[in-house]
């Protein structure tokens, strides 16, 4: 329908107008706003057809959808294909506000909500969810004539932000022109905008290496950027975090207060979803027994430890902790899932070994509180080169894993391994924090040990061995934790875990098994450690994170079904990166899809488990690794980890939103693997 023009011929210019799309040089600026590309979503066919006709009569380029899912699909397929979205509030397959959130997060397009409902509450909801306008049905054509202003406004703000940050060339700017209510200059704007967009795009891409493929003027929240953002927020305290201060802390050229503000809003929503409580910065100073513990029960002690310790030791960036905590909080709702993380961790260990048998070995120990010490011992062994190498290998297979993650248990270990290899940054782990628990126990120790281990990820098994080992002992108490949990882990988690840590494992069905075997009874901590190290080590982890993020989306749907917590999804995401590692940046989304669908169709729980597992593993590893690895001098890796976390968070966030993004969840441009600095 896009270019079907009414008999008026007024639309004939539409095609030429399309040139002023993002990234294009405007050839017919004076046509603006004609050719504005509108996507209208409404399940009511009568309304839909009327809106379509009205919009066509406004000389807009209209695409109509009667389902939110279809709309999201279209938007994802063609990210730069639309300028604005108009959506009904009440739709059968998805709440209009959820769609709004999705679009805001993924594509950052202006969205207009509409409804026959004119109650103040509904309108307010539109505002809080970020709608740029709210129309009451029946909609009149006059109301539609000026919707282009939202597009202009948004773009202007973006440009302005860039300009303010000084990163945009001044020459091209004619700043306040389009801002005037006098839209006669809109024509020029169209032209100006398009060229500006390009510059902005370029600027933005420069700022974020991953956005090179994107030619949108919008700020892309890459993992690094988001990590910086979270760090700033945590530093200020989530309650006190105001865009201006965050912006200052972040100190990113080209970033505007508006960018930060809108991102903060999304972040807050995300955190709210995770924890159900107002998010507050996770300060490393939290005692081991942070609140999360409570929710997780047995894990609590462990969780708190891990994160706290690491953070305290400075190894774990506050952000990570925050992320993890957030993840933990988010997960707290899913107690059952907790066990998974533990398990996952074990799996991580198993990563170490080509097979990630670790996990299996761990399993046994896990159940055995008394075996804490054993775990520790076991870890070093596993952690050593074996793990690292195995992790590496596994990362390769992560891509495969991703696919597998979805089915519970069915997932081959490979996925796990690949995930591990990814060396998911600690950030990921952070989320998992809950699950990781044991590892971090040895707070003070942990860092040491972890560092040792962490560094090993990069392939320096030795490091892990010694230090990790030491830590392990201290963390023994923590170790116990996982063990206990392991037993609790639902079967689904098994599948997850296996995927995570067991690259070589052919899906054994019970992740635990793998673990155990891998871990050799070391209690699993170590193995996870190793896995973790690998994660971090590899920028791929990043991808994992991204994948995780993607998975999150899918997970999200799963979670919807199976109330999977975010962490789970995170795990899944992690699995993704592996796919990426393989050099297919985009494979992740695909994988995630596969995973997702698998999860969806089969057992969402499984997918969740995986995620959960991943998260936990990562969290643990990251946590630990961070403390350790930092020493190793792979700060960048750690950083990446963080990113992964962020990505995960974002993915989680998306999931939280309840959207079942089977599709490229990975639409987070900012978080795409492309950006992963390897």
Partner 1 sequence: MERNPMRRQLASMRKSLFDQGYLDEQFMELEQLLDDANPNFVEEVVTLYYRDSARLILNLDRALERRPLDFSKLDGLMHQFKGSSSSIGAKKVKAESTLFREYCKSGNAEGCMRTFQQLKKEYATLRKKLETYFQLARQIGPMESANRPK
Residues that bind partner 1 (CB under 8 A): 5-8, 43-47, 49-50, 53-54, 57, 88, 90, 115-117, 137-141
Q: Who contacts 77 (Cβ-Cβ below 8 Å, separation ≥6)? A: none
Shortest Cβ 184–partner 1 spacing (Å): 25
Closest to partner 1 by CB, 41 vs 391, is 41
Instruction: Choose between 14 and 324: whose C-beta lies nearer to partner 1.
Output: 14
Q: Please tell me the distance from the alpha carbon of residue 235 to that of residue 528, in angstroms, as a whole number.
A: 29
Nearest Cα neighbor of 574 from 225, 332, 223, 305 is 223
Nearest distance in Å: CB 115, partner 1: 8
In angstroms, give the least distance from the CB of 535 to partner 1: 47
Instruction: Please state whether the peptide bond connecting residue 138 to the residue before it is cis, i.e. omega within 30 degrees of 0.
Output: yes
Indicate the residue among 117 and 172 with the shorter CB distance to partner 1.
117
Q: Within its chain, how far is the Cα of 677 from the centroid?
A: 16
Least separation in angstroms between CB 459 and partner 1:
59
593-622: b or e for each residue (b if 16 or more CB lie within 10 Å)?
A: bbbbbbbbebbbbbbbbbbbbbbbbbbbbb
Query: Least separation, in Å, of the C-beta of 84 and partner 1?
Result: 20
Question: By C-beta, is 9 or 171 nearer to partner 1?
Answer: 9
* Residue 636, helix vs strand vs coil: helix
Least distance to partner 1, CB of residue 340, Å: 36
Question: What is the closest distance, in whole angstroms, from the C-beta atom of residue 51 to partner 1 in the complex?
Answer: 9
Residue with Cβ nearer partner 1 (126 or 361): 126
Q: How far is the CB of 3 from partner 1 (least distance, A)?
A: 13
Can you name the residues that pair with 47 across neighbouring β-strands?
none
Query: How do the residues of the chain divide into helix, strand and coil, expressed in percent and rounded to 5?
Result: 70, 5, 30
Q: Output 43 or 169, the one with its CB closest to partner 1.
A: 43
Contact of 617 with 405, CB cutoff 8 Å? no
**Smallest Cα–Cα separation from 575: which of 603, 549, 600, 539?**
549
Query: What CA–CA distance (Å, rounded) separates 36 from 28?
Result: 12
Q: Using CA atoms, how far apart are residues 60 and 81, in angstroms rounded to an integer? A: 13
* Least distance from partner 1 to the Cβ atom of residue 54, Å: 6
How far apart, in whole angstroms, are the C-alpha atoms of residue 342 and residue 613? 7
- CB neighbour class for 74 (10 Å; exposed up to 12, middle 13-18, buried from 19): middle
Q: For partner 1, which is the closer residue by CB, 143 or 466?
A: 143
- Of the pair 92, 171, the CB lying nearest partner 1 is at 92
Rounded CA-CA distance 503/404 in Å is: 11
Query: Which of 34/139 has CB closer to partner 1?
Result: 139
């Amino acid at each position: 329908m896009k270019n079907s023009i009414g008999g008026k011929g007024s639309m004939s210019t539409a095609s030429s107008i399309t040139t002023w799309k993002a990234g294009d040089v405007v050839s017919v600026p004076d046509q603006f706003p004609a050719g504005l590309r509108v996507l209208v979503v409404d399940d009511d066919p009568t309304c839909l057809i009327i809106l379509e006709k009205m919009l066509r009569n406004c000389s807009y380029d209209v695409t109509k959808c009667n389902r939110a899912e279809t709309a999201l699909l279209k938007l994802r397929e063609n990210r730069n294909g639309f300028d604005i979205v108009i959506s009904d509030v009440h739709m059968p397959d998805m709440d209009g506000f959820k769609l709004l959130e999705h679009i805001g997060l993924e594509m950052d397009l202006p969205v207009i909500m509409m409804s026959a409902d004119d109650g103040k509450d509904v309108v307010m909801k539109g505002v809080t969810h970020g709608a740029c306008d709210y129309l009451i049905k029946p909609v009149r054509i006059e109301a539609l004539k000026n919707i282009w202003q939202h597009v202009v406004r948004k773009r202007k703000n973006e440009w302005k932000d860039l300009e303010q940050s000084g990163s945009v060339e001044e020459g091209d700017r004619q700043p306040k022109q389009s801002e005037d209510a006098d839209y006669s200059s809109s024509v020029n704007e169209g032209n100006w905008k398009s060229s500006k967009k390009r510059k902005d795009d370029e600027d933005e891409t420069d700022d974020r290496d991953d956005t090179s493929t994107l030619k949108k003027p919008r700020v892309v929240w890459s993992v690094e950027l988001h990590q910086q953002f979270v760090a700033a927020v945590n530093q200020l305290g989530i309650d006190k975090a105001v865009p201006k201060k965050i912006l200052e802390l972040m100190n990113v050229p080209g970033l505007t207060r508006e960018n930060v503000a809108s991102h903060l809003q999304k972040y807050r929503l995300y955190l709210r979803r995770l924890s159900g409580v107002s998010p507050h910065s996770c300060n490393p100073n939290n005692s081991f027994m942070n609140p999360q513990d409570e929710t997780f029960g047995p894990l609590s002690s462990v969780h708190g430890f891990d994160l706290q310790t690491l953070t305290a030791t400075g190894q774990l960036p506050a952000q990570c902790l925050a992320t993890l905590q957030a993840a933990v909080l988010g997960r707290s709702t899913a107690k059952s899932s907790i066990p998974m993380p533990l398990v996952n961790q074990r799996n991580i260990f198993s990563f170490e070994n080509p097979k990630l048998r670790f996990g299996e070995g761990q399993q046994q120990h896990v159940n055995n509180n008394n075996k804490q010490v054993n775990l520790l011992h076991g870890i070093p062994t596993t952690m050593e080169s074996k793990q690292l190498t195995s992790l590496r290998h596994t990362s390769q297979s992560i891509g495969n894993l991703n696919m597998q993650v979805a089915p519970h248990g069915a997932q081959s270990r490979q996925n796990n391994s690949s995930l591990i290899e990814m060396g998911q940054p600690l950030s990921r782990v952070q989320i998992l924090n809950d699950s990781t628990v044991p590892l971090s126990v040895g707070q003070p120790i942990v860092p040491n040990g972890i560092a040792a281990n962490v560094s090993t990820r990069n392939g320096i098994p030795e490091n892990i061995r010694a230090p990790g080992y030491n830590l392990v002992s201290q963390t023994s108490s923590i170790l116990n934790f996982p063990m206990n949990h392991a037993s609790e882990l639902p079967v689904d988690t098994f599948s997850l875990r296996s995927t995570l840590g067991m690259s070589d494992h052919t899906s054994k069905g019970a992740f635990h098994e793998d673990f155990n075997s891998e871990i050799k009874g070391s209690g699993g901590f170590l193995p996870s450690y190793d896995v973790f190290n690998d994660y971090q080590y590899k920028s791929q982890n990043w991808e994992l994170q991204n994948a995780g993020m993607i998975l999150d989306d899918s997970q999200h749907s799963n979670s919807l079904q199976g109330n999977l917590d975010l962490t789970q999804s995170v795990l899944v995401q992690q699995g993704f990166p592996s796919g990426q590692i393989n050099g297919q940046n985009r494979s992740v989304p695909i994988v995630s899809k596969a995973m997702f669908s698998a999860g969806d169709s089969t057992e969402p729980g499984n997918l969740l488990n995986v995620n959960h597992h991943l998260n936990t593993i990562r969290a643990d590893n990251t946590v630990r690794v961070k403390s350790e690895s930092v020493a190793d001098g792979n700060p960048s890796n750690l950083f990446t980890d963080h990113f992964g976390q962020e990505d995960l968070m974002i993915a989680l966030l998306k999931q939280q939103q309840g959207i079942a993004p089977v599709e490229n969840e990975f639409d987070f441009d900012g978080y795409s693997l492309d950006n992963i600095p390897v």
